[in-house]
Structure 1
Amino acid sequence: MIKPLQWLIRTTILLLVLLAGPALIAACSSQSGQSWRDADRSSAGIAPQPGQTEEAIVQVYGARAYSWRGDFAIHTWIATKVRGASTYEVHDVTGWGYTTVRSRPGEPDTAWYGNPPMLLADLRGEKAEAAIINIRTAIDAYPFANEYKAWPGPNSNTFVAWVIRQVPELNVALPNIAIGKDYLADGVFAKAPSGSGYQFSLNGYFGLMASIREGVELNILGLNIGIDPLALAVKLPGIGHIGLRDPWMDRSTWHKAPVVEQVSDAD
């Protein structure tokens, strides 16, 4: 009886540790009871106006998911603008509509139903032009075009992670709270989304990642905990990245390094 009791105690402690972050975010959230119809969907003003910018642009964004899901995870999407275009095209996946994959004209940096966006990557010029071609090819080849499951995937983060893996220009390390990014399309081994390491994943329920950009992440039931030595940071379920340095894409490739809010904020 001692061993089963020890196992139960350890399992309970592990679950409490994994759920402590989401519980803290939920306690600090101001979204409780807000209807999606009334939620803010306005532009955050991060992206340049397409009519005032000639060059091609590719941006990757993330924002807390709507309602209680935002206590656990973020929703990610990709925005593109070809050279000379007067509008952006936004690419993402949702659980509603005739198809899960959406590519449509729109503002790239809108709030996600009340939650402000965070810029995760920003490509400009020739590199963005090459990336847009590869992004379109990757979207057409996305293997879960008619499938959606919020947990553990395939979902919006599965889609963005898939595209990033197929596009060499997109050296992007997705946040650990992008639940679904570890849901792999084929097999149990794959490159990390940033391309700087590798990961093992059992259908998004359990896995391990080791990467220069992402650091080390342990996935338990879709909740990732880990460390990022380069960013001098820890990664906690629900809370996200807590560290001394910006963990996202190498800003030397950015046109300009904007100042934006951290996704891990509860607001």
Structure 2
Amino acid sequence: MHPFKRIALGLLLILFLPLGISLAEDPPRIGGGEARGWRSMPRHSAGLAPDPAAFADTAIVQVYAAATYGWRGYFAVHPWIIFKRSGDTAYTRYDVIGWGRGPVVRRNHAVPDGLWFGAVPAVLAEHRGAGVDEMIDRIETAIASYPHADEYRSYPGPNSNTFIAHIGREVPALQLDMPANAIGKDYRPLHDPVGRAVSGTGWQASLLGLLGVTVGIEEGLEFNLLGLNFGIDFNRPALRLPSVGRLGFDNAAPPAEAAALP
């Protein structure tokens, strides 16, 4: 076989194998899914957020991500962040929503740990207790400083993943490692192509989220080609793949008190 054909075949395998794994894990539903209409998809609590009343004296931060609605869910995720200060008996939720009028950053748009149009979220980061109130102060500052509050593009960004990635960069104590299929997390404008990785534990170079590389303790080594991310996580060994996100050890760490804030 000609070397060029071998390279092309290898690239196709790299691109479509993760999609095949994603489809195998969640086959398309006959007569369901998008045909039901997004308004009828369940949005109830997934039972992942600690009872805020029972933990009234505890400050808590959680970051979630769930498969996006419909066929896009085989390629990308939608993330959001919730938090409560010590003394609060309810959570505050923030995420970016691409439809509707006005600023795209929405407060309390949905149930704190609700299903995202039928998709069960996963916990990407969680912190409780000492130091978390101060972390929440920094999170709110990061939300207020988000530079794309009036613009949204599902691909390559800025989008909901760009928003949560911005918080991760501004608040390294979150120790946030977003999955490879969080398309938009690597979006950086042309005037700012190099900077801190999402986790705050490394660095990245990226052109509009379409071409780049990230190196970090949490992310490992990750390459971005046209918004598709490939890499390897050495911290919690796993392959970082498009569609799948990660293949290997779970990246969710147990709940922890906030890391020391610089």
TM range (shorter): 0.7 to 0.9
Aligned residue among 188, 208, 212 for 2:213: 208
Q: Contact conserved, 1:213 with 1:247, CA < 8 A, in 2?
A: no
Q: Contact conserved, 2:83 with 2:93, CA < 8 A, in 1?
A: yes
Residue by residue over 1:134-159, the C-alpha shift from the partner in whole angstroms, topping out at 9 and shown as x without a partner, is: 11111111000011001111000000
- Distance in 1, matches of 2:6 and 2:226, equals 18
Q: 1:94 to 1:69 in 2, by over 3 A?
A: same
- Distance in 2, matches of 1:19 and 1:228, equals 20
Residue by residue over 1:53-84, the C-alpha shift from the partner in whole angstroms, topping out at 9 and shown as x without a partner, is: 12211110011011111110111100011222
Does residue 72 (structure 1) correspond to residue 75 (structure 2)? The answer is yes
SS in 1 for 2:142: helix
User: Which amino acid in 1 is paired with 2:237?
Assistant: L
Q: Contact conserved, 2:124 with 2:251, CA < 8 A, in 1?
A: no
Cα offset for 1:43? 0.5
Counterpart in 1 of 2:238? Answer: 233
Query: 5 Å matches for 1:141-160?
Result: 141-160=145-164
The sequence identity of aligned pairs, in percent, is: 43
Aligned residue among 92, 95, 99 for 1:96: 99
Moved more, 80-89 or 147-156: 80-89
TM-score, normalised by the number of residues in structure 2: 0.87
Q: 1:230 to 1:38 in 2, by over 3 A?
A: same
- Distance in 2, matches of 1:89 and 1:151, equals 27
Count matched residues. 249
Q: 1:192 to 1:248 in 2, by over 3 A?
A: farther
- Distance in 1, matches of 2:113 and 2:48, equals 6
Residue by residue over 1:231-253, the C-alpha shift from the partner in whole angstroms, topping out at 9 and shown as x without a partner, is: 2211221012111x33244x372
Counterpart in 2 of 1:51? Answer: 53
Does residue 81 (structure 1) correspond to residue 78 (structure 2)? The answer is no
Aligned residue among 40, 47, 55 for 1:38: 40
User: Which amino acid in 2 is paired with 1:160?
Assistant: I
Moved more, 137-146 or 125-134: 125-134
TM-score, normalised by the number of residues in structure 1: 0.86
- Distance in 2, matches of 1:228 and 1:105, equals 33
SS in 2 for 1:90: strand
Gapped runs of 5+ residues in structure 1? 256-267
Q: Contact conserved, 1:199 with 1:210, CA < 8 A, in 2?
A: yes
Does residue 220 (structure 1) correspond to residue 222 (structure 2)? The answer is no
CA RMSD, 1 decimal: 2.2
SS in 2 for 1:33: helix
Moved more, 104-113 or 197-206: 104-113
Q: Contact conserved, 1:26 with 1:71, CA < 8 A, in 2?
A: yes
Q: 1:35 to 1:105 in 2, by over 3 A?
A: closer
Q: Contact conserved, 2:156 with 2:187, CA < 8 A, in 1?
A: yes
